[in-house]
Structure 1
Amino acid sequence: MMRKFTIFLLLLWLPSFVSSFYELNNMMDLRKQLIVLTGLLGFAYMGAAIILSARFKWVEGVVKGLDKGYALHKKLGISAFITLILHWAVIKSAHWAVQLGLLIRPLHQGKGKGQLMSGVDWVSMAEKVGDISFKFFIIFTIISLVERVSYKKFKGVHKIGGVLMLAGIFHTLLLINWDLSLIPMNIAIILISIISVWCAFLSLTGSIGKKNKIKGEVIRVDKFKSGSDSTMVARLQIKLENSLQYKEGQFAYINFHDGEAPHPFSILNYDEDRKLVEFGIKDLGDYTHTLVNEINTRTKVTVEGGYGYFQVSSDANQVWIGAGIGIVPLLSRLYWLQKTANTGKNKIKKIHLFYCVNNEKEAFFNAEIKVILRSMDFIELHLIESNKGNRLTSEQILKSMDNKAFSVSFCGPEGFGVSLKDTLVKAGLSEASFHKEIFKMR
Structure 2
Amino acid sequence: MSAKKWVLFSVFLGCLIFSLSPGPIHLIQNPTVWELREQLVFLTGACAMSLMVLSMLISVRFEPVNRVMGGLDKAYEIHKWVGIFSFVFIISHWLLEEGAHWLVDLEWIPNPGDLSDGTGFSELEISLFQAGVLFAEIIFYMMIILIGIALINKIPYRFFRVTHKVFPGLFLLLAFHAGTAQMKEHWLSSPGGYLLLILLSIGSVAAVIGLFQKIGNSKRMKGIIDSISIQGEILDLRLKTQDKVLSYKAGQYAFLKFEHDKEPHPFTISSYEENSDTLRFSIKGLGDYTKELKTKIQKGQSVRIEGPYGEFLFEDDSEKQIWIAGGIGITPFMARLEYFSNRGGASKPIDFWYCTRGSLDLQFPSSLDKICKNNSVNLYHLNSDQGEYLSLDLLREKMRNFGDLSIWFCGPKKFREYLIEGLKDYKFDLSKFHYDSFNMR
Does the pair score TM above 0.5?
yes
Query: Distance in 2 between the 1:187 and 1:272 partners?
Result: 48
Q: In 1, Cα distance between the equivalents of 2:361 and 2:283?
A: 13
| Structure 2 residue 382 is matched with structure 1 residue 375 | no
1:127–1:287 distance in 2 versus 1, CA, 3 Å: same
The whole-number CA distance in structure 2 between the counterparts of 1:421 and 1:31 is 43
Distance 1:299 1:89, change over 3 A: same
Distance, in Å, in 2 between the alignment partners of 1:383 and 1:408 is: 17
Paired residue type of 2:373: R
Aligned CA distance change for structure 1 residues 330 and 309 (closer, same or farther; 3 Å)? same
Q: 1:205 aligns with which of 212, 217, 222?
A: 212
* Structure 2 residue runs without a partner (length 5+): none
Deviation sequence 1:367-395 (CA, Å, 0-9, x none): 33223223222x21111111111111111
Larger mean CA deviation between 104-113 and 58-67 belongs to 104-113
Match in the other structure for 1:228: none
Is 1:410 the counterpart of 2:406? The answer is no
1:247 — aligned with what? 249
- Farther off after superposition, 98-107 or 320-329: 98-107
The DSSP-based 3-state class of the residue aligned with 1:355 is strand
Q: Contact 1:97/1:103 (CA < 8 Å) preserved in 2?
A: yes
1:215-248 deviation line (CA, Å, top 9, x unaligned): 01111112122xxxxxx21111111021113111
Which deviates more from structure 2 when the two are superposed, residues 155-164 or residues 310-319? 310-319
The letter of the residue matching 1:14 is S
Report if aligned partners of 2:10, 2:47 keep a CA contact under 8 Å in 1: no
Shift in CA distance, 431/75, structure 1 to aligned 2, threshold 3 Å: same
The two structures, once aligned, show a CA RMSD in angstroms of 2.3
* 2:149 counterpart residue number: 143
Change (3 A) 1:114 1:59: farther
- Percent of matched pairs sharing the same residue: 29
- After superposition, residues 89-168 of structure 1 pair within 5 angstroms as 89-108=95-114, 112-113=120-121, 115-116=123-124, 121-168=127-174
Find the aligned partners of 1:364 and 1:292 in 2 and give their Cα distance. Answer: 19
1:6 aligns with 2:11: yes
Please give the secondary structure, in 1, of the residue aligned with 2:78.
helix
Rounded Cα–Cα distance in structure 1 between residues aligned with 2:362 and 2:43: 53
| 1:192-228, Cα deviation, whole Å (9 max, x unpaired) | 3222222222222221111101101111112122xxx
Asked whether the 8 Å contact 1:281–1:292 carries over to 2, the reply is: no
Paired AA for residue 331 in structure 1: M
Q: Deviations over 1:4-24 (max 9, x none)?
A: 333333233334465345335
Hey, what does 1:219 align to over in structure 2? Answer: 226
Runs of 4+ in 1 over 6 A off after TM superposition: none
Whichever residue aligns with residue 311 of structure 1, its letter is L
- Which amino acid in 1 is paired with 2:121? K
Native 8 Å contact 1:359 1:386 kept in 2: yes
Does residue 62 (structure 1) correspond to residue 68 (structure 2)? The answer is yes
Give the counterpart of 2:265 among 263, 276, 279: 263
Aligned to 2:269, the other structure's residue is in SS state strand
How many residues matched?
A: 429
**Alpha-carbon shift at residue 293 of structure 1 (Å):** 4.0
- Give the 3 Å change call, closer, same or farther, for CA 91–385 of structure 1 in structure 2: same
What are the equivalent positions in structure 2 for 1:187-206 lying under 5 Å apart?
A: 187-206=194-213
Paired residues of 2:392 and 2:423 also in contact (CA < 8 A): yes
State the shift of 1:295 in Å: 2.9
**Per-residue deviation at 1:180?**
7.2
The 3 A distance-change label for structure 1 pair 281 and 111 is: farther
Matching residue's letter, 2:323: W
Given that 2:27 and 2:35 are in contact with CA atoms closer than 8 Å, whether structure 1 keeps it comes out as no
Check whether the contact 2:253–2:308 (CA below 8 A) recurs between aligned residues: yes
Contact 1:15-1:182 at 8 Å conserved across structures: no
1:398/1:292 CA distance change after superposition, 3 Å: farther
Looking at structure 1, the residues matched to 353 and 188 of structure 2 have their Cα atoms a distance apart, in angstroms, of: 57
Q: Which residue of 1 aligns with 2:313?
A: 311
Contact 1:130 1:168 in 2 (8 A): yes
Q: Bigger CA drift: 356-365 or 385-394?
A: 356-365
Deviation at 1:332, TM superposition (A): 1.5
Which range moves more in the overlay, 14-23 or 92-101?
A: 14-23
Q: 1:229: which partner in 2?
A: none
Partner AA of 1:355 in structure 2:
Y
| Counterparts of 2:225 and 2:304, CA distance in 1 | 10
Gap regions ≥5 residues in structure 1: 226-231
> 1:367 is paired with a residue of what secondary structure?
coil
Summarize the Cα distance change of 1:204–1:27 in structure 2 as closer, same or farther, 3 Å threshold.
same
Task: Work out whether residues 76 and 440 of structure 2, in 8 Å CA contact, stay in contact via their aligned partners in 1.
Answer: yes
User: Cα distance, 1:179 vs. partner?
Assistant: 5.0
Within-5 A mapping of 1:393-404: 393-404=391-402
Q: TM-score, structure 1 length as denominator?
A: 0.91
Deviations 1:64-84 (A, max 9, x none): 211111111111111111110
Q: After the TM superposition, which residues 173-192 of structure 1 pair with which residues of structure 2 at under 5 Å, given as runs?
A: 173-177=179-183, 179=186, 183-192=190-199
Matched letter for residue 392 of structure 2: S
Distance in 1 (CA, whole Å) between partners of 2:210 and 2:362 is: 39
* 8 A contact 1:114–1:123 mirrored in 2: no
Amino acid at match of 1:58: P
Residue identity in the other structure for 1:59? V
State the distance in 1 between where 2:255 and 2:370 align: 28
2: CA distance between counterparts of 1:236 and 1:25?
A: 68
Letter in structure 2 aligned against 1:191: I
TM-superposition CA deviations, 1:350-369 (whole Å, max 9, x none)? 21111111222795324332
> Contact 2:324 / 2:354 at 8 angstroms: preserved in 1?
yes
Write the letter of the residue equivalent to 1:183. Answer: S
Letter aligned with residue 23 of structure 1: Q
Q: Quick check: 1:151–1:261 contact (8 Å CA) kept in 2?
A: no
* 2:14–2:49 contact (8 Å) kept in structure 1: no
